[in-house]
């Protein structure tokens, strides 16, 4: 059993274990009056079932896939481990540097996130995952540049999840976040090692004395009553969209966090998982164990985000991405709520 299959097996065990735990807690909640808690546990149980089924479906499909070929290990690029190309070129390093057909087949889904001014733009500062910005591009016809992020643990844990962030032309408080590929990393594990100060906090410190920022934040706070986090347009029409792990929960209000997770309607859940795509990158089926492990010599940063893109600060609202795949205890517990949320909103007030 190679590392990849091990991963699916462990994920499956993990999912089922979580499901059982939540079922137990649900049973306990039933004896009390905790409706919200019951709702939450029910969602988690459903999520566990869906994820488990997805893992099984995917594992089954992969074992029937003749294209799962061993790549040249030296490249280390994702495209090298599996290819949907009928004539995969596994010798040419150049062919693996840029987007391949396999990458294009990665599960893709979008979210529209509207800036919430509740609590003066306070909010979760991340979506539970660590992202590193690797590019920004001016897009033809778009007022704002598009930012490109990939998982921080790409090299460390061979996680090839990426996301693109595009601010809406018409509505500057609305951001379209496109996720490509699901996380195969265990960010819980990383976060357990250290919890460094988030870049948002560093950024805020930097900007705290900036009068313009103060004014902007005050003005933005005035929008408070009218704005809400919005994740309900998750690109239902995109047929290629497939989401390996179902949204974890929705509509859950955590009174301790003073934060409302946006509603995700039931149709959306159903529309997310029919065509399952690998919960892990195919290369994780090939690479041996070390690629799945942490590099202990490196300093591990967790829950950090770009300082330049607002949606990062709110993406933890999106139930679809808020839970780490492995080791999920309770995603909200890992969300940092930064009251000093830095937000370069100067563009609004030019």
Partner DNA sequence: CCAATTTGACCTAA
Partner DNA sequence: TTAGGTCAAATTGG
Instruction: Enumerate binding residues for DNA (CB under 7 A).
Output: 77, 94-95, 97-101, 103-104, 131-142, 146, 148, 150, 152, 162, 164, 180, 197, 199, 202-203, 205-206, 298-299, 301, 304-308
Say how far apart CA 84 and CA 68 lie, in whole Å.
9
Q: Rank residues 27 and 104 by Cβ distance to DNA and give the closer one.
A: 104
Q: What are phi and psi of 337, to 5 degrees?
A: -110, 110
CB of 126 to DNA, least distance (A): 11
Query: If you ran DSSP here, which 8-state letter would residue 240 be given?
Result: T
Please, how many CA atoms are within 13 Å of residue 146, restricted to the half-sphere of its CB?
14
CB of 175 to DNA, least distance (A): 14
H helix or E strand, kind and range, residue 264: none
Relative orientation angle of helices 3-30 and 35-63, to the nearest 10 degrees: 160
Q: Rank residues 24 and 197 by Cβ distance to DNA and give the closer one.
A: 197
CB of 268 to DNA, least distance (A): 23
Say how far apart CA 331 and CA 334 lie, in whole Å.
6
Q: Rank residues 66 and 141 by Cβ distance to DNA and give the closer one.
A: 141
CB of 306 to DNA, least distance (A): 4
- Helix segments in 245-335, DSSP class H: 266-272, 283-286
Q: Spell 302-318 as b/e; 16+ CB within 10 A means b.
A: bbbbbbebbbbbbbbbb
Q: Rank residues 190 and 317 by Cβ distance to DNA and give the closer one.
A: 190
Q: Rank residues 199 and 271 by Cβ distance to DNA and give the closer one.
A: 199
CB of 128 to DNA, least distance (A): 16
């Amino acid at each position: 059993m190679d590392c990849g299959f091990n991963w699916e097996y462990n994920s499956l065990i993990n999912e089922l274990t979580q499901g059982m735990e939540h079922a137990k807690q649900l049973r306990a909640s039933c004896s009390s009056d905790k409706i919200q808690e019951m709702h939450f546990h029910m969602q988690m149980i459903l999520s566990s079932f869906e994820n488990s089924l997805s893992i099984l479906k995917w594992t089954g499909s992969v074992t029937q896939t003749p294209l799962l070929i061993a790549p040249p290990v030296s490249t280390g690029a994702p495209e090298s481990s599996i290819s949907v190309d009928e004539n995969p070129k596994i010798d040419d390093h150049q062919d693996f540097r840029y987007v391949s057909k396999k990458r294009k087949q990665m599960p893709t889904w979008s979210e529209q996130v509207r800036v919430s001014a509740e609590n003066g733009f306070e909010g979760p500062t991340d979506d539970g995952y660590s992202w590193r910005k690797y590019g920004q591009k001016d897009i033809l016809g778009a007022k704002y540049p598009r930012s490109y992020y990939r998982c921080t643990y790409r090299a460390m844990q061979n996680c090839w999840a990426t996301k693109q962030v595009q601010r809406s032309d018409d509505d500057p408080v609305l951001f379209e976040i496109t996720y490509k590929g699901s996380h195969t990393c265990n960010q819980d594990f990383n976060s357990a090692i250290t919890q460094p100060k988030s870049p948002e906090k560093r950024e805020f410190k930097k900007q705290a004395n900036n009068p313009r920022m103060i004014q902007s934040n005050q003005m933005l706070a005035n929008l408070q009553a009218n704005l809400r986090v919005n994740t309900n347009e998750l690109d239902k029409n995109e047929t290629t969209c497939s989401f390996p792990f179902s949204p974890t929960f929705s509509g859950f209000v955590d009174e301790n966090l003073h934060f409302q997770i946006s509603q995700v309607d039931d149709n959306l859940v159903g529309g997310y998982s029919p065509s399952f795509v690998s919960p892990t990158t195919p290369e994780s089926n090939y690479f041996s164990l070390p690629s799945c492990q942490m590099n202990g010599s490196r300093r591990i940063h967790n829950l950090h985000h770009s300082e330049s893109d607002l949606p990062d600060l709110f993406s933890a609202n999106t139930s679809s991405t808020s839970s780490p795949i492995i080791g999920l205890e309770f995603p909200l517990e890992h969300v940092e709520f930064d009251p000093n949320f830095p937000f370069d909103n100067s563009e609004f007030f030019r």
